């Protein structure tokens, strides 16, 4: 699959298994704008990288109330190491 | 892992230190006093810089009861640092609200995190992680590494990505419109398709300022950040799609 999404040419290999996307591999990304630029990333790719060893989460700053409802507070209470 | 949490600056800070590093009675006491110092460092900054506290120096300046020229050294240093970041970000990051009020909160949390790290380092701790409302600074690495998730702005219980922090990329900050609403002042011409920006850098100030800058300045600010700074960036757009530079993808591996 090759696509120009406004970030130069991005070429990816999409791996299918049982009709579902299981992996997306970037073959080449861009020639014109320099590789420092950000380019689209499919969620499927980030999902495979997620591990159970996470104990900290970054997001838009949570309020004290939101913290109480968050998984971060559960991680902190459990003393998860990460 | 021993985890200490306390509330400050309208959010919650957690500090993690491996159990083994505070196992002996004297290290346990050292940790306890370092945590106390960390807590007071945050509280002191909050008391001075919070615009939610009527008596704070920042509020006095906002009311024009105090001129910036007569303000404390710490206030003027923070202002100078914010101006420096304004220049480095081509005026996208700004220490002023649209109504002209000086608002240094964009750098103060990062300053607190850096001071907290300095306190822990001075107390002899090498491996630790400080998380202040989702802005994270790590030092050293425990056996399994410091693995950090990026929250999905649509649903904080889901993650959009996970990375492992390293010595060169030890600090991570996110900015967005998820938890505190539209608290970032965007220029009127900014495209608002960026919902959340996460920046990983070698220091927390760079990560924090650039995350804010990318939300404030959109695509142009993103391009400038990835070109001019040694940072890993992940953006979640309003339609749920993601943008990342190669450095961020390297951290996911």
Contact residues, B window 126-155, toward A, CB-based 8 Å cutoff: 129, 131, 133-136, 142, 144-153
Look at residue B92 in the predicted model and tell me its pLDDT: 93
**What's the pLDDT score for residue A62?**
73
Q: How far apart are CA B169 and CA B177, in angstroms?
A: 24
Start-end of H helices in B73-185: 73-88, 105-122
pTM of the model: 0.84
- In a 13 Å sphere around the CA of B13, the CA atoms on its Cβ side amount to 26
Place of tokens 């929250």: B151
CA distance A18 to chain B (A): 24
- Quick one: pLDDT at residue B184? 56
Q: Which two tokens stand for residue A64?
A: 């004290």
Give pairs for A68-75: CB < 8 Å, separation 24+. A70/B156, A70/B157, A71/B156, A71/B157, A72/B12, A72/B14, A72/B131, A72/B134, A73/B5, A73/B12
CA atoms within 13 A on the CB side of B159: 25
> Does B15 have pLDDT greater than 50?
yes
The predicted pLDDT at position B180 comes to 47
CB pairs < 8 Å spanning A and B: 175
Q: Report yes or no: B187 and B194 within 8 Å, Cβ to Cβ.
A: no
Predicted confidence at residue B183, as pLDDT, reads: 52
Distance CA B34, CA B56 (A): 25
C-alpha to C-alpha distance for B151 and B157, rounded to whole angstroms:
7
d(CA B199, CA B216): 14
pLDDT band at residue B109 under the 50/70/90 scheme? very high
Name the nearest CA neighbour of A66 among B156, B113, B43.
B156
**How close, in Å, is residue B134 to chain A by CA atoms?**
4
Return the DSSP state at B21.
G
Predicted confidence (pLDDT) at residue A6 exceeds the cutoff of 50: no
Using a CB-CB distance cutoff of 8 angstroms, which residues of chain B are in contact with residue A63?
10-11, 179-180
ipTM score here?
0.78
Q: What is the mean pLDDT of residues B220-238?
A: 96
Rounded CA gap, B48 and B194, in Å? Answer: 32
Band of pLDDT at residue B179, cut at 50, 70 and 90: very low
Closest partner residue to A56 among B10, B109, B148, by Cβ? B148
Binary contact (B161, A54; C-beta < 8 A) = no
CB atoms within 10 A of CB B34: 23
Instruction: Transcribe B53-73 into DSSP letters.
Output: -TTSHHHHHHTTSS-GGGS-H
Count of residues making up chain B: 253
- Cβ distance B197 to B178 under 8 Å? no
- As a whole number of angstroms, the distance between CA A81 and CA B239 comes to 33
N residues, chain A: 82
Contacts of A34 in chain B (CB under 8 A): 227
């Amino acid at each position: 699959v090759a696509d120009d999404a406004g970030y130069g040419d991005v070429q990816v290999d999409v791996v299918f298994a049982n009709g579902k996307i299981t992996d997306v591999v970037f073959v080449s990304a861009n020639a014109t704008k320099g590789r420092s630029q950000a380019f689209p990333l499919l969620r499927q790719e980030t999902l495979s990288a997620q591990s159970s060893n996470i104990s900290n989460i970054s997001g838009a700053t949570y309020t004290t109330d939101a913290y109480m409802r968050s998984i971060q507070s559960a991680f902190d209470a459990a003393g998860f190491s990460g | 892992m021993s985890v200490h949490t306390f509330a400050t600056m309208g959010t919650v800070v957690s500090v993690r230190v491996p159990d083994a590093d505070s196992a002996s009675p004297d290290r346990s006491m050292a940790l306890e006093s370092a945590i106390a110092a960390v807590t007071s460092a945050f509280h002191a900054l909050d008391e001075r810089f919070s615009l939610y506290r009527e008596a704070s120096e920042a509020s006095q300046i906002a009311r024009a009861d105090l001129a910036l020229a007569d303000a404390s050294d710490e206030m003027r240093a923070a202002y100078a640092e914010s101006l420096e970041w304004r220049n480095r970000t081509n005026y996208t990051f700004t220490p002023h609200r649209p109504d002209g009020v000086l608002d240094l909160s964009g750098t103060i949390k990062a300053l607190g995190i850096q001071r907290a790290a300095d306190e822990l380092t001075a107390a002899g701790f090498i491996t630790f992680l400080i998380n202040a409302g989702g802005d994270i600074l790590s030092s050293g690495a425990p056996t399994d590494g410091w693995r950090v998730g990026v929250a999905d702005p649509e649903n904080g219980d889901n993650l959009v990505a996970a990375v492992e922090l390293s010595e060169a990329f030890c600090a991570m900050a996110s900015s967005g419109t998820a938890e505190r609403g539209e608290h970032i002042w965007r220029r009127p011409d900014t495209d608002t398709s960026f919902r959340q920006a996460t920046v990983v850098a070698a220091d927390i100030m760079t990560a924090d300022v650039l995350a804010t800058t990318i939300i404030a300045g959109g695509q142009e600010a993103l391009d400038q950040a990835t070109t001019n700074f040694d940072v890993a960036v992940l953006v979640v757009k309003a339609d749920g799609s993601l943008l990342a530079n190669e450095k961020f993808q390297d951290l996911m591996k």
